[in-house]
Amino acid sequence: MGLGLLASRTLKTSRVLSSQYSRFRPIVTKPGLQSPDASAAAPATQPEPTPPPPKKPVGGARVHFTNPDDALEVFVDGFPVKIPKGMTVLQACEIAGVDIPRFCYHGRLSIAGNCRMCLVEVEKSPKPVASCAMPALPGMKIKTDTPLAKKAREGVMEFLLMNHPLDCPICDQGGECDLQDQSMAFGSDRGRFTEMKRSVVDKNLGPLVKTVMTRCIQCTRCVRFATEVAGVQDLGMLGRGSGEEIGTYVEKLMTSELSGNVIDICPVGALTSKPFAFKARNWELKGTETIDVTDAVGSNIRIDSRGPEVMRILPRLNEDINEEWISDKTRFCYDGLKRQRLNDPMIRDANGRFKAVSWRDALAVVAEVALQVKPEEIVGIAGKLSDAESMMALKDLLNNMGSNNVWCEGTGTSPNADLRYKYLMNSSIAGLEKADVFLLVGTQPRVEAAMVNARIRKTVRASNAKVAYIGPPTEFNYDCQHLGTGPQTLIEIAEGRHSFCSAISNAKNPAIIVGAGLFERDDKDAIFAAVEAIAKNGNVIRPDWNGFNVLLLNAAQAAALDLGLVPESSNSIESAKFLYLMGADDVNLDKVPADAFVVYQGHHGDQSVYRANVILPSAAFSEKEGTYENTEGCSQQTLPAVPTVGDARDDWKIIRALSEVAGIRLPYDTLGAIRSRMRTVAPNLLNTDEIEPAAFGPSLSQDCSQKISSTPFKAAVENFYMTDSITRASKIMAQCSAMLLKK
């Protein structure tokens, strides 16, 4: 009976059955597919076996050949492999698909060669060779699975475990520990150590990194990371022999904004995450690959969640944006997702207190007020963390109601979204590595976009690039010339009077990075005109290299400007009677008239909630699927990792529901539909993980006749740890800003 029902349902609903053979489609198979044995038996009479296919590089790595003619050939375990000149034996084995165990070697740090776990046998070599340091010579025959190599690994493992405490049950790294896995794979089954193990005093590195220095195996990865990538020489190795200790020598906290990355780097549980200590084991966590929205970089992260709760955030590899690092704010803001959450729609009653109501009532109230107000008195402001879908919906709704006063906070009073090159990082974050001169105008990359700063530091370190900075005095972790504090210096360089002009004109790939904090200034157009003059004089914008970069501050700015969230009048907020704040917490609400009806749609009760008349709870970035465009124009999508809190909904769905209640129904019901709508406006937002470069250059920009004022540039971000509603709600960020900010 059931089968017949199924069959009839199949026949009725399937459109594929409209073939010429009446109502039924015969299930056919091709002769080749019919019996795999028959097809395999036929060519089995081949004379010689085909050579095994070359193995793919470890982790699917791509190999960068600086000079394709200069490739060497080495033999790894009998397999020939072509490698670029200058690579080490370990890298050659990596290309050949053989993962050699290592503790101190890291692909992004300098080579130390002190753990000796990477020993392999090389023919015609008297002793095993440290593959991480040995350069691969042409014709070398490398053997990684011989008894000599295996014995070397067992020996190294034995020595490492000798002084290592038996902390696995209480160590946070258990389950994701390199030492555990490599001792299982390459170590021997028994140890011979019967003496007392040494122990080391724990160091206090701050509220983020928990140290149990007894577990340290002295690989010095953290020392090299702090020195090379983070640029702070806080950590060092003290002592010698078995008395070696990693520490700061003086009582110093790790104040670098990249300090959380040492947690990932440390192969053992010596440096672990303090907020995550003892909270979960890694096998109970479900990893969701999404994007970070606390700054405009869009670092790729993986949110590890257990059930309905986010437990920690780890970085994910993306060579073009954040490599393998994330800033501290990205890593530790997750506990803000659990505090001060809005979970029910609320309406402010006559006493001024908020009362939780149902969605039906809340939307009815909002729609009623919205329809009574005149179109030019309706204003919408999108927040820092808004995704492109919700901004599209907001703009559509407000436009359908007759108003065009919708903008994103942070884009200033009169944003210009006509030419994309004026608000994107045109050389792309990875492209900054090719630059050799940087001019930073009114931007402190260290606090605005820590990953961009890391990239600049990498360039400065690799190629001795020159960096000059115009703005308030700040600390840099690379050598930087402080040229001035205000627009005066900028005009000087534009007119060619400054000494730095020669550096720009002599540079092969000069890069100018302008901060988005300048959007808030009144003389923004004049400043940008001056910067463009510098760009023209220095040949910064060319077909093969575009060094004119704008470093945005928020995750939502680029998408907002791409979607055209440009207000009609710059001071519409003063005459607004209906204000729709979609997560906008950093907007100055002083100028809003006292009788304006304010709707706040967001996920945290941060600052703007207190002025709101109706609160509509929406989903945070970890709970929704949204498109975010980062400062270089690469569009990426977040995925939901945890369920929405309480009665909250997705942003664009709330606006769609509101439009239905208000009678101005928006034409999309599903995510696919709203994305098609976005495609008509800004199709680059749909090409995820791809950068759409700006199409037009400065030849189309209009001349500016504004006068530059002489107020010096001010810092756009005062407190690195508290920039948006999620980080302001986070206890860890509060601790960090109390302890780690440089006073």
- Pick out residues in 184-213 that bind another protein (CB under 8 A): none
Q: How far is the CB of 448 from another protein (least distance, A)?
A: 24
- Footprint of another protein on 328-367 (CB under 8 A): 337-344, 352-354
Q: Which residues of 238-268 are buried (b: 16+ CB within 10 A; e: fewer)?
A: eeeeeeeebbbeeeebbbbbbbbbbbbbbbb
User: Looking up tokens 């696995």, which residue turns up?
Assistant: 168
Of 77 and 178, which CB lies nearer to another protein in the complex structure? Answer: 178
Q: Is residue 18 close enough to count as binding another protein by CB under 8 A?
A: no
Out of 167, 309, 376, 660, the residue judged to bind another protein by CB under 8 A:
309
Longest dimension (CA), the chain: 92
Q: How far apart are CA 554 and CA 546, in angstroms?
A: 22
Stretch touching another protein by CB under 8 A, among 9-17, 467-475, 512-520, 521-529: 9-17
d(CA 99, CA 525): 54
CB of 597 to another protein, least distance (A): 18
Residue in 13, 46, 50, 194 binding another protein, rule: CB under 8 A: 13
DSSP 651: H
Candidates 147-155, 416-424, 591-599, 641-649; binding stretch for another protein (CB under 8 A): 641-649
Contact 622, 636 (CB under 8 A): no
665-704 residues in contact with another protein (CB under 8 A) are: 671-672, 688-689
User: How many residues lie near another protein (CB under 8 A)?
Assistant: 112
Asked whether position 129 contacts another protein by CB under 8 A, the answer is: no
Span interacting with another protein, options 138-146, 151-159, 304-312, 445-453, rule CB under 8 A:
304-312
**Residue 90 carries which DSSP code?**
H
Q: Which residues contact 538 (CB under 8 A, 6 or more apart)?
A: 501, 504, 505, 507, 510, 512
Would you say 20 or 680 has its CB closer to another protein?
A: 20
**Measured torsion, CA atoms of residues 291, 637, 444, 433, in degrees rounded to the nearest 10:** 90
Least separation in angstroms between CB 104 and another protein = 11
Which residue in 74, 76, 81, 95 binds another protein (CB under 8 A)? 95
Q: Is there binding between residue 318 and another protein (CB under 8 A)?
A: yes
Task: Name the burial class of residue 735, with classes exposed (0-12), middle (13-18) and buried (19+) by CB atoms within 10 angstroms of its CB.
Answer: middle
Phi-psi region of 583 (alpha: psi -120 to 50; beta: other; left: phi over 0): left
Residue 277 or 317: which CB sits closer to another protein?
317
| Residues 532-551 close enough to bind another protein by CB under 8 A | none
**Closer residue to another protein in complex, CB, 86/239:** 86
**Segment interacting with another protein (CB under 8 A) among 186-194, 307-315, 378-386, 400-408:** 307-315
Question: Measuring CA to CA, which residue among 512, 473, 516 is closest to residue 493?
Answer: 512
Which residues 150-179 are close enough to bind another protein by CB under 8 A?
173, 176-178
In the range 461-520, which residues lie near another protein by CB under 8 A?
Answer: 464, 479
Instruction: Please say whether the beta carbons of 141 and 123 come within 8 A.
Output: yes
Of residues 254 through 273, those in contact with another protein by CB under 8 A are 263-264, 267
Q: Is 56 in the site for another protein (CB under 8 A)?
A: yes
**Which residues, 6 or more positions from 334, have their beta carbon under 8 angstroms from its beta carbon?**
303, 310, 311, 312, 313, 622, 730
Based on the shown chain and the rule CB under 8 A, indicate whether residue 642 belongs to the binding site for another protein.
yes
Among 234, 257, 295, 324, binds another protein (CB under 8 A): 324
Q: Is the Cβ–Cβ distance between 297 and 551 less than 8 Å?
A: no
